[in-house]
Structure 1
Amino acid sequence: MRKDIHPVDERLPLGQTFLYGLQHVLAMYAGAVAVPLILANALGLDTKQLIYLINADLFTCGIATLIQTMGPCKIGSKLPIIQGVTFAAVTPMIMIGKNGGLTDIYGAVIAAGLVVFLIAPYFSRLIRFFPPVVTGSVITIIGISLLPVAVRWAGGGNPAAKDFGDVSSLLLALLVLAIVILFYRCFTGFLRNISVLLGLIVGTIIAAALGETNFSAIGNAAWVGVTTPFSFGFPTFNVSAVAAMILVMLVVMTETTGDFIAVGEIVDKEIDKETLTRGLRADGFSTFLGGIFNAFPYTAFAQNIGLISLTNVKSRFVVAASGCILVALGLFPKLAALIASIPAPVLGGAGLAMFGMVAANGIKTLSKVDFNGNYNVLVVGISLAMGLIPTAMPNFYSHLTGALQVIFDSGITVGSLTAIILNAILNNNAVTEKKADVNGQPLPTK
């Protein structure tokens, strides 16, 4: 690699780029298709409609990833960030869909995407409220909040199932985790960097040999599935639905800011106001496209942050390759069915390594913060406590309604807002300057 090229802008050989990109897709695939599955079940859609939603989601997810990584027309952060459907929008979309159908959902998604695009330059000014003490807290919360996802995968995927957490699932997940660690420890260079991919492949082969893998969906899937705009009808714009979705996206913008900062820490690239503006614009534009192509609101996918840290492959062109693969999966359902055949415990074993690395990077950032003679311990402690409440007790805020439920159901959002507010109040001079020293202390005012 040339010394004058940042690792984010490094172009790797085509074969390596494809395999690294595929590794990212395998890491996020289950999360990417979860939203259409939940929505279709809640709204009583038939199997044909569900398959179409999944294809549309994967196709638009790929387009959104390409926009975010390549940054055309000042839209996109040009960072190695893969885009996926935000889970924060699931409950509001179900409520909207039950009252007004899919056309109301897509109208709200289109309107919210336009709002995000327009307010991105103003929202990005919040970047000055993210000194290292806040950044480290947010990254740690992101990692710990993701771990339950890996645990559910490791147990079989569905906690309500009778065989959830059975010995075979746990052993398979631990075996895949061990394989990932073994490859990472014993190999160097390219093979070490695809340790997660190798773990997923070997784990799937073992699961197939044990009869734990079902490939029947591949034969039943169509060869080609083309996503066309407004397939479920032209969007309708219900005022209350639009307002609810805008609120969701404001919450998502806070989460996205934390994700951008987390990636910036890992790839050693400063996330300034301009970069954040471009990244948020990509979220808004991709969400707008989601409403047109029968898909959903899109945002940075936190699941893949740990993979960047684990492999140390920082090139945005690798994630752009993931976008191309996702587009292909959306156009060719048989490929999507093949990826979907990976057993949940196999994903769980890899997820434990990836998501744990996100939390470790947060701790690494906090290690640079000075905790003497200030209120940083309190900022970190309270923000972690607030951020992990939804993770430890998912029904804790079940009696809240409307805007409060949208905000408090997201541990990442609650933790981020808590860290920002406490730091601004307790370390009130920490937000008066845009830059801080290596210990997270504000530089003196000139």
Structure 2
Amino acid sequence: MANVTGKHPVDEMLPAGRLFLYGLQHVLAMYAGAVAVPLIIAAAAGLTKEQTAFLINADLFTCGIATLLQTLGIWKLGIRLPVIQGVTFAAVTPMVMMAKAGGMPMIFGSVIIAGLVTFLLAPFFSKLLRFFPPVVTGSVITVIGVSLLPVGVNWAAGGVGNKNYGSLTFLAVAGIVLVTILLINKYLKGFLANIGVLIGLLVGMVVAIPLGLVDFSGVSTAPWMGIDTPFYFGVPVFDMGSIIAMILVMLVVMVESTGDFLAIGEMVDKHIGEEELTRGLRADGAATMLGGIFNAFPYTAFAQNVGLVGLTGVKSRFVVAMSGIILVAMGLFPKLATIIASLPNAVLGGAGIAMFGIVAASGIKTLSKVDFDKNSHNLFIVAISIGIGLIPLVAPDFFKLFPNWSQTVLHSGITLGSLTAIILNAFFNGSGKNDTDDEMKKKLSGNTGMMQH
């Protein structure tokens, strides 16, 4: 749906000041998730403090490049939607094993080859899009949102492993952030409503400082400049077993990215076809190859930022492109990254609960287009796919006796839910579509925007 300028809101260029604030809001929402993976891998590989800092900065730098590639697009790369890129958690387990067995060069060798395979497979994988009618996409988006909610809840309680986990102080700070966001959305309109999450985070930061929850100690010692040099940890090692494991991870990533792309498409009212999906998945592959070269990891769309798009109603892809520029700057200027890292988990938790809940609500909204009366089989598709998708969330040890090679898939609720929905839809409804869903899509076309202010 075009605006008064004749452009789709996704392609609208906003004033520089608003671009920066909206972009910063996205960076604050994804920062904790972005640095978690390099911290885990650094610990497994036994890296020094200096090497760990370099790994984090390399990751932020490559996050920014990957986000720019996805949002702006080059040649046949990039889905050109407000999609921010980050390291996939699906790769953590195999990368920890590689770090212990062969160090960082083994990880980066497998990442480069897996990225290349993803790039080449993208046009073939996108042909599976016909197996994603509303009954499937709605189920997948709902599972994505519900799977993310524990992250926000744990942040609100102070973060997993915190000795004061669940402290009333943490919960109060998170509550203040959440209430601030709700009040802003209730009483304010336009620009101020669109930066409601950013204002909520700033209010939370102001409250947290006198409570002693904000630690700026590392800012003074952090260097001003840090250059990300290719193959900093040595020449990549191409181990066949590691490569196969990483390719399996990227197949999982392609399923998850497809769900995220479709969720974003629903929120910004933009059709996602085979061509768009191919461009998006190619960008994932190219960014992952780049990650292997620049000492980083496999990249995918960050689902938490999907919720932020829905919560704010800001649809411009150039906003997230600005996030990419900020991430590149953070990678090049470690002192800036350290300041952003000072944001307490409890503050992030208040915003996280709202953002992740919005993703789940968006999935429910998509499911509202599905006819459950004329086709009662759709009820089973939704029920079973969400139920199986939540198994890793409610029972983390459920699949612990399954073979090691299967753990990457079985520990991803999003992948389990997606595969279940696709298989059940094909079983009950045939090739992936049914007339009822097509009719509903026609009737409801033009009414899929998530929120307007």
**Bin for the TM-score computed over the shorter chain:** over 0.9
Measure, in 2, the Cα distance between the counterparts of 1:440 and 1:165.
47
Letter in 2 for 1:422: L
For residue 192 of structure 1, what is the aligned residue in structure 2? 193
Say which SS state the counterpart of residue 248 (structure 2) adopts. Answer: helix
CA contact (8 A) 1:370 1:440 kept: no
Do residues 339 (structure 1) and 340 (structure 2) align? yes
Task: Give per-residue Cα distances to partners, 1:308-353, cap 9 Å, x unaligned.
Answer: 0010000000000000000000000111001100010000000011
Task: Give per-residue Cα distances to partners, 1:291-316, cap 9 Å, x unaligned.
Answer: 00000000111010010001000000
Measure, in 2, the Cα distance between the counterparts of 1:369 and 1:401.
37
Do residues 311 (structure 1) and 308 (structure 2) align? no
Say which SS state the counterpart of residue 299 (structure 1) adopts. Answer: strand
Task: Give per-residue Cα distances to partners, 1:350-388, cap 9 Å, x unaligned.
Answer: 001110000011111111110013200000000000001
Match 2:149 to one of 147, 150, 157? 147
CA contact (8 A) 1:133 1:440 kept: no
Measure, in 1, the Cα distance between the counterparts of 2:189 and 2:293.
44
For residue 177 of structure 1, what is the aligned residue in structure 2? 178
For residue 161 of structure 1, what is the aligned residue in structure 2? 162
For residue 104 of structure 1, what is the aligned residue in structure 2? 106
Task: Give per-residue Cα distances to partners, 1:203-245, cap 9 Å, x unaligned.
Answer: 0011002222111111121111110000000101001110110
Percent identity of paired positions between Structure 1 and Structure 2: 62
- Cα deviation, residue 85, structure 1: 0.1
For residue 202 of structure 2, what is the aligned residue in structure 1? 201
For residue 419 of structure 1, what is the aligned residue in structure 2? 421
Letter in 2 for 1:101: G
CA contact (8 A) 1:192 1:311 kept: yes
Task: Give per-residue Cα distances to partners, 1:259-304, cap 9 Å, x unaligned.
Answer: 0000000000010000000000000000000000000000111010
Match 1:9 to one of 8, 11, 21? 11
- Cα deviation, residue 437, structure 1: 2.3
Say which SS state the counterpart of residue 217 (structure 1) adopts. Answer: coil
Say which SS state the counterpart of residue 218 (structure 2) adopts. Answer: helix
> Higher mean Cα deviation, 386-395 or 230-239?
386-395
TM-aligned CA distance change 1:381 to 1:440, over 3 Å = farther
Say which SS state the counterpart of residue 2 (structure 1) adopts. Answer: coil
For residue 370 of structure 2, what is the aligned residue in structure 1? 369
Letter in 1 for 2:125: F
> Higher mean Cα deviation, 40-49 or 147-156?
40-49
CA contact (8 A) 2:132 2:432 kept: no
For residue 448 of structure 2, what is the aligned residue in structure 1? none
CA contact (8 A) 2:369 2:437 kept: no
- Cα deviation, residue 440, structure 1: 9.3
Measure, in 2, the Cα distance between the counterparts of 1:270 and 1:318.
20
For residue 251 of structure 1, what is the aligned residue in structure 2? 252
For residue 263 of structure 2, what is the aligned residue in structure 1? 262
- Cα deviation, residue 416, structure 1: 0.3
Do residues 296 (structure 1) and 307 (structure 2) align? no
For residue 129 of structure 1, what is the aligned residue in structure 2? 131
Measure, in 1, the Cα distance between the counterparts of 2:434 and 2:122.
21
Match 1:93 to one of 95, 100, 118? 95
Measure, in 2, the Cα distance between the counterparts of 1:343 and 1:80.
26
Say which SS state the counterpart of residue 84 (structure 1) adopts. Answer: strand
Measure, in 2, the Cα distance between the counterparts of 1:202 and 1:161.
22
Task: Give per-residue Cα distances to partners, 1:387-424, cap 9 Å, x unaligned.
Answer: 01111122222222333111110000000000000000
Do residues 217 (structure 1) and 221 (structure 2) align? no
Measure, in 1, the Cα distance between the counterparts of 2:398 and 2:267.
32
Measure, in 2, the Cα distance between the counterparts of 1:183 and 1:434.
39
Task: Give per-residue Cα distances to partners, 1:28-70, cap 9 Å, x unaligned.
Answer: 0000000001111122211111100000000000000000000
- Cα deviation, residue 179, structure 1: 0.8
TM-aligned CA distance change 1:246 to 1:285, over 3 Å = same
Task: Give per-residue Cα distances to partners, 1:173-206, cap 9 Å, x unaligned.
Answer: 1111001111121111000000000000110011
Letter in 2 for 1:402: N
Say which SS state the counterpart of residue 371 (structure 1) adopts. Answer: coil
Say which SS state the counterpart of residue 351 (structure 2) adopts. Answer: helix
Match 2:397 to one of 379, 395, 398? 395
CA contact (8 A) 2:67 2:84 kept: yes
- Cα deviation, residue 161, structure 1: 3.0
Match 1:78 to one of 77, 80, 100? 80
Please give the residue correspondences for 1:318-357 in structure 2 after superposition, counting only pairs within 5 Å.
318-357=319-358
CA contact (8 A) 2:76 2:279 kept: yes
Measure, in 2, the Cα distance between the counterparts of 1:44 and 1:439.
52
- Cα deviation, residue 432, structure 1: 7.7
Measure, in 2, the Cα distance between the counterparts of 1:425 and 1:403.
27
CA contact (8 A) 1:86 1:298 kept: yes
Task: Give per-residue Cα distances to partners, 1:53-99, cap 9 Å, x unaligned.
Answer: 00000000000000000011110000100000000000001111111
CA contact (8 A) 1:82 1:304 kept: yes
Say which SS state the counterpart of residue 55 (structure 1) adopts. Answer: helix
For residue 444 of structure 1, what is the aligned residue in structure 2? none
Measure, in 2, the Cα distance between the counterparts of 1:43 and 1:395.
25
Measure, in 2, the Cα distance between the counterparts of 1:308 and 1:403.
35
- Cα deviation, residue 2, structure 1: 3.2
TM-score of the two chains, using structure 2 as the length reference: 0.95
Measure, in 1, the Cα distance between the counterparts of 2:230 and 2:146.
38
Measure, in 2, the Cα distance between the counterparts of 1:102 and 1:270.
40
TM-aligned CA distance change 1:121 to 1:174, over 3 Å = same
Letter in 1 for 2:352: G
